[in-house]
């Protein structure tokens, strides 16, 4: 069994619960410790039963609750060295015993759950994406990246489930009220994926075994759930992939648990 559940998604906070028969982890902790524990309880999970917390990168929308949660539940925290360095005082108070390091490209094993990590281009220190495997089931979690490199494309093959960033609609971003430097940052090679870029990537990685796609980390300012869904589903249909029949495409909710995926 491989289960994923989005607890929150977007620039106001990100966290994903991942479970197998023998392992339970959290990826990112971008909500307060209290809200994370509450979101876990809402989906029938228990913060006290988590085996580990993995951090994708140091940005606050992925780390702000990490320290409180880890200390309260004595939770080992895994991050790359650059993430530990950049997170600074966010994670400074964590005792040494809870600090674990991995390098982008490493595989981390928690009982029957294998977590493959790979580097992503994003304006953070040492950011990573994840492929989660249990037995022959596999799902990827890739948000906060400015572009999909050929290397990432290679990591995202033969998946049952894909959680991918669909951050912004390019027209909404460029016609919107953000200042020019911020528009450039978001749309740049180390910013965030647009709906079109997510669609382009999906047309290349969806295989006959892919059943679930979750669109994540949508911008509140420069995207709409319906627009992301319409843009991406119509691109998939043009590519001969029929959402709804062969594949379930959903948008992760911003503030509450959503998009539970279960591969039994
Ligand atoms: Zn983020
Ligand atoms: Zn980020």
- pLDDT of 236: 96
Give first-to-last CA distance, the chain, whole Å: 4
Residue 41 and residue 93 in one domain = yes
Report the CATH number at residue 6.
3.60.15.10
Write the pLDDT tens digit of every residue in 38-51.
999 999 999 999 99
Query: Is the CA virtual torsion 175, 11, 133, 41 positive or negative?
Result: negative
| Boundary residue ending a domain (78, 101, 124) | 101
The CA dihedral of 183, 184, 187, 191, to the nearest 10 degrees, is -100
Residue 158 and residue 233 in one domain = yes
Q: Which listed ligand is nearest to 11 at the C-alpha? A: 1
Residue 117 CA, ligand 1 centroid: distance in Å: 17
- pLDDT of 90: 83
- pLDDT of 64: 96
Residue 264 CA, ligand 2 centroid: distance in Å: 31
Question: Is the confidence at residue 123, as pLDDT, over 90?
Answer: yes
246 band by pLDDT with thresholds 50, 70 and 90: confident
Is 11 inside any structural domain? Answer: yes
Distances (CA, A) of 82 to 48, 85, 119, 125: 28, 5, 12, 5
Residue 89 and residue 153 in one domain = no
Is 151 inside any structural domain? Answer: yes
Q: Report CA 141 to chain centroid distance, whole Å.
A: 4
Residue 154 and residue 62 in one domain = no
Residue 144 CA, ligand 1 centroid: distance in Å: 5
89 band by pLDDT with thresholds 50, 70 and 90: confident
Residue 96 and residue 149 in one domain = no
Is 112 inside any structural domain? Answer: no
Is 120 inside any structural domain? Answer: no
Residue 240 CA, ligand 1 centroid: distance in Å: 31
User: DSSP letters of 32-61?
Assistant: -HHHHHHHHHHTT--GGG--EEE-S-S-HH
Is 114 inside any structural domain? Answer: no
Q: How many helices (H) and strands (E) does the chain have?
A: 9, 14
| Boundary residue ending a domain (101, 125, 158) | 101
What mean pLDDT is predicted for residues 51-72? 97
Range of the domain at 28: 1-101
Residue 249 CA, ligand 1 centroid: distance in Å: 21
Q: Which listed ligand is nearest to 59 at the C-alpha? A: 2
Q: Which listed ligand is nearest to 124 at the C-alpha? A: 2
243 band by pLDDT with thresholds 50, 70 and 90: confident
**% of the chain with per-residue pLDDT over 90:** 96
Q: Which phi and psi angles does 206 have, rounded to 5°? A: -70, 130
CB within 8 Å of 61: residues ≥ 6 apart: 10, 11, 12, 13, 14, 30
Write the pLDDT tens digit of every residue in 142-177.
999 999 999 999 999 999 999 999 999 999 999 999
- Secondary element (H or E) of residue 89: none
Mean pLDDT of the chain: 97
Residue 92 and residue 171 in one domain = no
Domains contained in the chain, number: 2
Residue 11 CA, ligand 1 centroid: distance in Å: 5
Is 129 inside any structural domain? Answer: no
Residue 12 and residue 84 in one domain = yes
What is the length of the chain?
264
Residue 122 CA, ligand 2 centroid: distance in Å: 7
| Boundary residue ending a domain (101, 133, 165) | 101
Question: Is the confidence at residue 245, as pLDDT, over 90?
Answer: no
Is 45 inside any structural domain? Answer: yes
Is 116 inside any structural domain? Answer: no
């Amino acid at each position: 069994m491989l289960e994923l559940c989005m607890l929150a998604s977007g620039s106001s906070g990100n966290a994903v619960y991942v479970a197998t028969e023998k392992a339970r982890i959290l990826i990112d902790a971008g909500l307060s410790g209290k809200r994370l524990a509450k979101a876990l309880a809402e989906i029938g999970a228990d913060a006290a039963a988590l085996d580990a917390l993995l951090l994708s990168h140091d940005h606050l929308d992925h780390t702000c609750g990490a320290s409180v949660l880890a200390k309260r539940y004595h939770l080992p925290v895994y991050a790359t060295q650059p993430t530990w360095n950049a997170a600074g005082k966010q994670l400074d108070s964590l005792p040494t015993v809870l600090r674990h390091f991995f390098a982008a490209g490493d595989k981390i094993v928690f009982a029957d759950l294998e977590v493959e990590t790979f580097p992503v281009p994003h304006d953070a220190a040492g950011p990573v994406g994840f492929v989660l495997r249990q037995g022959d089931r596999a799902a990827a979690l890739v948000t906060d990246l400015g572009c999909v490199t050929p290397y990432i494309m290679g990591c995202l093959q033969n998946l049952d489930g894909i959680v991918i960033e669909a951050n912004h609609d390019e027209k909404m971003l460029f016609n919107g009220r953000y200042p020019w430097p911020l528009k450039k940052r978001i749309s740049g090679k180390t910013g965030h994926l647009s709906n079109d870029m997510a669609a382009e990537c999906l047309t290349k990685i969806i295989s006959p075994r892919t059943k679930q796609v979750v669109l994540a980390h949508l911008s509140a300012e420069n995207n709409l759930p319906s627009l992301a869904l319409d843009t991406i589903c119509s691109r998939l249909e043009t590519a001969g992939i029929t959402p709804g029949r062969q594949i379930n495409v959903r948008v992760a909710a911003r503030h509450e648990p959503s998009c539970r995926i279960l591969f039994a």
